[in-house]
Amino acid sequence: MKVTGVGRDAEHPKCLIVYYDGVPTDDELRVLHEQLRDEQTDKLAMMVGRLAHLLEHAHPARKQAIELLAKYGYTFKPHCR
C-alpha cells in the first residue's frame, strides 16, 4: 500500500485526509497511526532533552525553559552538586 497524497477536510480543520493507492486494511491504518504517534513522541522527547540541556548550562534561560516544560506537564529536578 502506498500513500499517494494528503489533504484537508473543509468541514473539519483538524482533520487530515490520507490518500492511498488502494483500500487500506485496518492493520495498515494502525501502522500509520503508530508511526504518527511515535514521531510526535520522538519530537517531544528531543525538545525535553534540549530544554534539560538549557537548564543545566544556560542559567539566563532557566526560567523560560522551566515554564515551557511545565506547560507540557514536565517537572525539572536539578542535579545535586
d(CA 20, CA 34): 17
Question: Comparing C-alpha atoms, which of 35, 3, 37 is closest to residue 17?
Answer: 3
Asked, for residue 47, whether it belongs to a domain, the answer is yes
Q: Kindly state whether residue 77 falls inside one of the protein's structural domains.
A: no
pTM for this predicted structure: 0.44
pLDDT digits (tens, 9 = 90+) for 21-76: 999 889 888 888 888 777 777 777 777 777 776 666 666 666 677 777 778 777 66
* 78 located within any domain: no
Q: Is the pLDDT of residue 80 over 50?
A: no
Q: Per the domain annotation, does 81 fall within a domain?
A: no
**Number of domains, the chain:** 1
Print the domain residue range for 34: 3-71
Task: Name the grid cell of 65.
Answer: 525553559
